[in-house]
């Protein structure tokens, strides 16, 4: 049978690191065995589900290139299917209507808690055959009373639950809506899911779901429960915590390749290898190599991957376009791809995100509009005005505009005025970039081009003159 896996998020919060990692593992497992992967949106909780979250799920998967072969299916569009199956279970005697009032259930719960017992439904309606037409009811699954549920988790090994510990699960609420545990079972069955790969928080649901499948007399899928991802401070991730919204990392200038690589390594390993491209991921991924213990999210490690990919990727249209988008978010508009190529190429080794790249290369796009007096006092000296002016004329006559020739010329100027090269370069840097921190000024001038450099230089020494400096 062909492998078929799924990712089944509930759209009740932004997709966070842990969920996306589960999606990635599920996708890779299917791809590794030439199987298929489906996306199913579990939106039966109408109060907490939100269409912004659905959009967030789709955008996150798109960004990371986690593609689905079927779907997205929406549970809210399959209510009829669940209703039919619930009727089938009722007919088979595996489910029953429970007419107990919420008041009675609350009282029961309280009594059990006072007595130190685990709160659970006492199965009052389980063996009633009557139907109380006018009262509201829920439908419960008749969980077997004895025996055990044993399954072999592909990550955690053999797991055993006693039926005596399981409740008669509600499969349809008073408002007629089927519940999560039921819909999941029916969908996985209908969609021929062979391997259910999901978060460890669902382990306790698994025996309940297996019992429903057994009542329906159908094949049980394989299960793999992936451990949790926890924060640096050991707290659990909350769905509502936006700092973990994976798309936030896109906004902050992380690259999808880095996020994918970080995610696969967060709880999975293959020898000592750190770097994996998607082809290798699909080739090497295995559930057996997933760690059983929780993984700690570490943003520094993610930054390390990002810096790696930012420097390794070829500077193609895709990277340039992403840079353009980040520039736009700082109100910088540039469409000169050749210029952008040179800037990325020159600046990326000192940056770890695209946002950082924008911040560190702003001066390439924004004019220097004033004289920073602090910098003047710190770095300029009596002759600076004349030296800058002299340099300007010398540069004007330079025929081959490249880093090497510019540096040779600057050395010549330094010698002529008997000053150190840095005393030429720093005022030039300030004139051209507006700051005293920047990479090699000759290289910057090459990227700026002759006209642009001369324009900035002239503007600056005119400023100096105006200020009588
Ligand atoms: N919808 C569930 C969730 O978002 C996942 C269900 C499952 O994978 O079985 O936690």
Which CATH number characterizes residue 443's domain?
1.10.10.350
The packing angle between helices 256-265 and 17-32, to 10°, is 80
Distance from chain centroid for Cα 59:
10
Distance from chain centroid for Cα 55:
14
Positions at the binding site:
98, 100, 125, 127, 239
Indicate if 349 and 385 belong to the same structural domain: no
CA distances from residue 454 to 36, 439, 445 in whole angstroms, order as listed: 59, 19, 9
- 111: which residues sit within 8 A by CB, 6+ positions away? none
Burial class for 5, CB neighbours closer than 10 Å (0-12, 13-18, 19+): buried
Indicate if 433 and 358 belong to the same structural domain: no
Indicate if 355 and 384 belong to the same structural domain: no
Share of the chain above pLDDT 90, in %: 87
- pLDDT for 241 equals 60
Indicate if 337 and 402 belong to the same structural domain: no
The residue range of the domain holding 107 is 80-172
Taking the centre of ligand 1 as the mean of its atom positions, its distance from the CA of residue 307, in whole angstroms, is 33
For residues 276 and 385, give the distance between their C-alpha atoms in angstroms, rounded to a whole number: 54
Indicate if 391 and 352 belong to the same structural domain: no
| Residues 326, 358 contacting (CB under 8 angstroms) | yes
Taking the centre of ligand 1 as the mean of its atom positions, its distance from the CA of residue 334, in whole angstroms, is 43
Pairing mode, strands 229-230 and 157-162: unpaired
Indicate if 379 and 408 belong to the same structural domain: yes
User: Which atom of ligand 1 lies closest to the CA of 205?
Assistant: 9
For residues 149 and 286, give the distance between their C-alpha atoms in angstroms, rounded to a whole number: 26
Backbone angles phi, psi at 74, to 5 degrees: -120, 125
Taking the centre of ligand 1 as the mean of its atom positions, its distance from the CA of residue 10, in whole angstroms, is 6
Is 122 among the domain residues? yes
Would you say the CB of residue 42 lies under 6 angstroms from ligand 1? yes
The pLDDT tens digits for 229-286 are 988 766 666 655 666 789 999 999 999 999 999 999 999 999 999 999 999 999 999 9
Distance from chain centroid for Cα 308:
18
- pLDDT for 242 equals 60
Is 425 among the domain residues? yes
Taking the centre of ligand 1 as the mean of its atom positions, its distance from the CA of residue 279, in whole angstroms, is 27
Q: Residue 308, Cβ neighbours under 10 Å: how many?
A: 17
Indicate if 353 and 377 belong to the same structural domain: no
- The CATH number for 328's domain is 1.10.8
Indicate if 405 and 355 belong to the same structural domain: no
Taking the centre of ligand 1 as the mean of its atom positions, its distance from the CA of residue 25, in whole angstroms, is 14
Handedness of CA 204, 208, 214, 216 (dihedral sign): negative
- pLDDT for 129 equals 73
CA distances from residue 402 to 71, 405, 407, 455 in whole angstroms, order as listed: 54, 6, 9, 17
User: Which atom of ligand 1 lies closest to the CA of 184?
Assistant: 9
Is 249 among the domain residues? no
The three-class DSSP label of residue 162 is strand
Following DSSP, what letter does each residue of 76-102 receive, concatenated?
GG-HHHHHHHHHHHHHHTSEEEE---H
Q: Is the peptide bond before 300 cis (omega within 30 degrees of 0)?
A: no
| Residues 417, 385 contacting (CB under 8 angstroms) | no
For residues 445 and 275, give the distance between their C-alpha atoms in angstroms, rounded to a whole number: 35
Would you say the CB of residue 8 lies under 6 angstroms from ligand 1? yes
Would you say the CB of residue 20 lies under 6 angstroms from ligand 1? no
Taking the centre of ligand 1 as the mean of its atom positions, its distance from the CA of residue 188, in whole angstroms, is 11
**Domain-ending residue, one of 124, 153, 172:** 172
User: Which atom of ligand 1 lies closest to the CA of 42?
Assistant: 1
Indicate if 84 and 160 belong to the same structural domain: yes
Indicate the DSSP class of residue 41. Answer: E
Instruction: List, for the chain, all residue ranges whose pLDDT scores fall below the cut of 50.
Output: none
Positions at the binding site for ATP:
239
This prediction's pTM: 0.91
Following DSSP, what letter does each residue of 246-297 receive, concatenated?
HHHHHHTT--HHHHHHHHHHSSB--TT-----HHHHHHH--GGGB-SS-EE-
Distance from chain centroid for Cα 65:
11
Would you say the CB of residue 9 lies under 6 angstroms from ligand 1? yes
The three-class DSSP label of residue 198 is strand
Would you say the CB of residue 15 lies under 6 angstroms from ligand 1? no
| Residues 75, 43 contacting (CB under 8 angstroms) | yes
Task: Quote the number of domains for the chain.
Answer: 3
Indicate if 359 and 395 belong to the same structural domain: no
Mutate to test the pocket of ligand 1, among 184, 205, 222 (most ligand atoms within 8 A of CB): 184
Is 251 among the domain residues? no
**Domain-ending residue, one of 122, 152, 172:** 172
Indicate if 397 and 344 belong to the same structural domain: no
Backbone angles phi, psi at 307, to 5 degrees: -65, -40
Q: What b-and-e string marks burial along 137-174, b requiring 16 or more CB atoms within 10 Å of the CB? A: bbbbbbbeeeeebebebbbbeeeebeeeebebbbbbee
Nearest to 443 by CA among 365, 353, 342, 348: 342
Taking the centre of ligand 1 as the mean of its atom positions, its distance from the CA of residue 180, in whole angstroms, is 8
Would you say the CB of residue 193 lies under 6 angstroms from ligand 1? no
Is 280 among the domain residues? no
Taking the centre of ligand 1 as the mean of its atom positions, its distance from the CA of residue 9, in whole angstroms, is 5
- The CATH number for 149's domain is 3.90.800.10
Is 352 among the domain residues? yes
Positions at the binding site for Zn(2+):
98, 100, 125, 127
**Domain-ending residue, one of 304, 332, 365:** 365
Would you say the CB of residue 10 lies under 6 angstroms from ligand 1? yes
User: Which atom of ligand 1 lies closest to the CA of 12?
Assistant: 4
Would you say the CB of residue 18 lies under 6 angstroms from ligand 1? no
Indicate if 86 and 157 belong to the same structural domain: yes
- pLDDT for 127 equals 87
Is 324 among the domain residues? yes
- pLDDT for 135 equals 80
Taking the centre of ligand 1 as the mean of its atom positions, its distance from the CA of residue 8, in whole angstroms, is 5
Q: Which residue has the tokens 């000759």?
A: 442
Mutate to test the pocket of ligand 1, among 12, 199, 240 (most ligand atoms within 8 A of CB): 199
- pLDDT for 128 equals 80
Would you say the CB of residue 202 lies under 6 angstroms from ligand 1? yes
The three-class DSSP label of residue 245 is strand
Taking the centre of ligand 1 as the mean of its atom positions, its distance from the CA of residue 449, in whole angstroms, is 56
Is 182 among the domain residues? no
User: Which atom of ligand 1 lies closest to the CA of 198?
Assistant: 8
CA distances from residue 359 to 41, 253, 326, 328 in whole angstroms, order as listed: 38, 11, 10, 12
Residues in the chain: 469
For residues 56 and 241, give the distance between their C-alpha atoms in angstroms, rounded to a whole number: 14
């Amino acid at each position: 049978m062909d492998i078929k896996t799924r990712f089944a998020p509930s759209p009740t919060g932004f997709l966070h690191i842990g969920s996306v990692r589960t999606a990635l593992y599920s996708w890779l497992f299917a791809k590794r065995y030439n199987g298929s992967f489906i996306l199913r949106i579990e939106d039966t909780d109408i109060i907490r589900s939100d269409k912004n979250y659905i959009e967030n799920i789709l955008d996150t998967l798109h960004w990371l290139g986690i593609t689905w072969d079927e779907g997205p299916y929406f549970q809210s569009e399959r209510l009829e299917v669940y209703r039919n199956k619930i009727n089938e279970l009722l007919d088979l005697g595996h489910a029953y209507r429970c007419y107990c009032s919420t008041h009675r259930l609350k009282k029961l719960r309280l009594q059990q808690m006072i007595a130190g017992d685990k709160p659970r439904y006492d199965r009052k309606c389980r063996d009633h055959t009557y139907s109380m037409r006018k009262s509201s009811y829920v439908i419960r699954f008749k969980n077997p009373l004895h025996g055990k549920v044993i399954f072999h988790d592909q990550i955690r090994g053999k797991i055993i639950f006693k039926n005596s510990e399981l409740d008669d699960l509600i499969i349809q609420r008073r408002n007629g809506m089927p519940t999560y545990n039921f819909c999941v079972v029916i969908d996985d069955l209908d969609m021929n899911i062979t391997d259910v790969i999901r978060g460890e928080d669902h382990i306790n649901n698994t025996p309940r779901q297996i019992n429903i499948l057994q009542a329906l007399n159908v094949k049980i899928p394989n299960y793999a429960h992936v451990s949790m991802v926890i924060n640096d401070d050991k707290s659990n991730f909350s769905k509502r915590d936006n700092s973990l919204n994976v798309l936030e990392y896109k906004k902050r200038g992380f690259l999808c390749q880095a996020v994918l690589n970080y995610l696969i390594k967060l709880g999975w390993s293959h020898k000592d290898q750190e770097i994996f491209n998607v082809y290798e991921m699909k080739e090497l991924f295995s559930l057996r190599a997933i760690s059983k213990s929780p993984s700690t999210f570490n943003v520094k490690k993610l930054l390390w991957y990002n810096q790696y990919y930012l420097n390794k990727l070829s500077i193609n249209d895709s990277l340039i376009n992403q840079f353009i988008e980040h520039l736009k978010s700082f109100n910088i508009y540039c469409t000169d791809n050749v210029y952008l190529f040179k800037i990325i190429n020159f600046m990326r080794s000192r940056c770890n995100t695209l946002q950082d790249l924008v911040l560190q290369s702003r001066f390439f796009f924004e004019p220097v509009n004033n004289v920073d007096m602090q910098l003047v006092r710190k770095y300029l000296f009596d002759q600076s005005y004349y030296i800058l002016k002299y340099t300007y004329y010398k540069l004007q006559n330079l025929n081959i505009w490249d880093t090497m020739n510019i540096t040779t010329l600057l050395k010549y100027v330094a010698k002529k005025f008997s000053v150190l090269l840095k005393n030429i370069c720093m005022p030039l840097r300030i004139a051209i970039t507006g700051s005293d921190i920047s990479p090699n000024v000759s290289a910057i001038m090459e990227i700026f081009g002759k006209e642009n450099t001369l324009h900035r230089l002239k503007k600056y020494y005119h400023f100096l003159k105006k200020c009588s400096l």
